[in-house]
Copies of this chain bind each other. A is one copy, B any other.
Amino acid sequence: MTHPAIGDAFGEMIRDAYAVHLGVGRRPLAGGRYPRPVIEVIERDDGLINGALAGHYLTEPDEWRTFDHRAVRLARGRVLDIGVGAGRIAIELQSRGVAVTGLDTSAGAIEVARDRGLRDTVLTTVDEFSRATVRYDTFLMLGNNLGLLEGPERAPVFLAALARLAAPGARIIAQGTDPYGTTDPLHVAYHESNRARGRLGGQLRLRLRYRELASDWFDYLNCSVSELEALVAGTPWRLKSIDDKDHPYYVAVMELIE
């Protein structure tokens, strides 16, 4: 078969999900006639594939999970929403009068977030953006975006970039998932094979696919709290608290070491 083209699969998916949400514009229709939901397809490097409804990127606060609300309440001062997507969290903060910047590497996602009213956006990586002179009090990594730590190699680099962007007393509020409670043999075997390769068990190697497009393969980390502690050690951040009322999901707060 032909391989999918590499491109902004996430952005194209968000654009389509937004069009379906609005009910106007070019949007996926079965047979050009029946609306079809937009599906996010994620492939893992062991051949696993999963689909999920993309509409969750466009949910309103009353549809959020409770840990999102608890996480958002911890935001203070200037906020950088990392991996802002369609702006679900940032738009709500903006409406509450919070000074929030949305960062994403997906042009399509930023376009949708702006169209939905998010005023301050940056289309770049955290690394590039960390050369800017702006400083933030809160870094938000919700929607499981603690995963952006990727693994032991990337985490200290990523956390150092955030430290360069950090005002004194800054905090990172990140939602993660502990993957090790599963009994699914497929996931258990994947964790074991990861460890055999010197990776963290939940260091997922993924790519996103949407229609003819695929993202590049990337690492995305689901880790336990103790693994997170080890990743944060030696960086300019310290793990301050964990809210795991919704185990296996948790909200981690890290604060800048003065």
Chain A positions near chain B (C-beta within 8 angstroms): 1-5, 31-34, 36-37, 39-41, 43-53, 65, 177, 181-182, 186, 205, 209-212, 214, 217, 246, 248-249
| Cβ contacts under 8 Å, A32 to chain B | 181-182, 248
* Beta-carbon contact of B31 and A51 below 8 Å: no
Q: Which residue of B lies closest to A1 (CB)?
A: B45
Q: Decide: B177 and A47 in contact? CB cutoff 8 A.
A: no
CB-nearest residue of chain B to A31:
B248
Kindly provide the distance from the CB of A187 to the nearest chain B CB, expressed in whole angstroms.
10
Which B residues lie within 8 Å of A44 (CB)? 1
Q: Is the Cβ of A2 less than 8 Å from the Cβ of B177?
A: no
Copies per assembly: 2
| A4-B212 contact given A32-B182, A32-B248, A182-B32, CB 8 Å threshold | no
What chain B residues lie within 8 Å of A2 (beta carbons)?
45-47
Question: Is A177 within 8 A of B49, CB to CB?
Answer: no
CA distance A43 to B41 in the complex (A): 11
Q: Is the CB of A43 within 8 A of B1?
A: yes
A186-B212, A211-B186, A212-B186 known; A41+B49 contact, CB < 8 A? yes
- Compute how far the CA of A246 lies from the CA of B36 in the bound complex, rounded to whole angstroms: 16
**A2-B45, A51-B51 are known contacts; what are 15 more A-B pairs with Cβ within 8 Å?**
A1-B43, A1-B46, A2-B47, A4-B47, A31-B248, A31-B249, A33-B248, A34-B65, A36-B52, A37-B52, A37-B53, A39-B50, A46-B212, A48-B211, A48-B212
CA distance A181 to B29 in the complex (A): 12
- Do the beta carbons of B52 and A5 come within 8 Å of each other? no
Is the CB–CB distance between B211 and A3 below 8 Å?
Answer: no
17 CB < 8 A contacts A-B: A1-B44, A1-B45, A1-B47, A1-B205, A2-B45, A2-B46, A3-B47, A32-B248, A33-B246, A33-B249, A39-B50, A41-B41, A41-B49, A46-B212, A48-B212, A49-B210, A49-B211
A181 to B32 Cα, complex, angstroms: 8
Q: Give complex CA distance A248, B31 in Å.
A: 6
Q: Which 10 A-B pairs have the closest CB atoms?
A: A39-B51, A51-B51, A4-B47, A1-B45, A2-B47, A31-B248, A49-B209, A2-B46, A48-B212, A41-B51
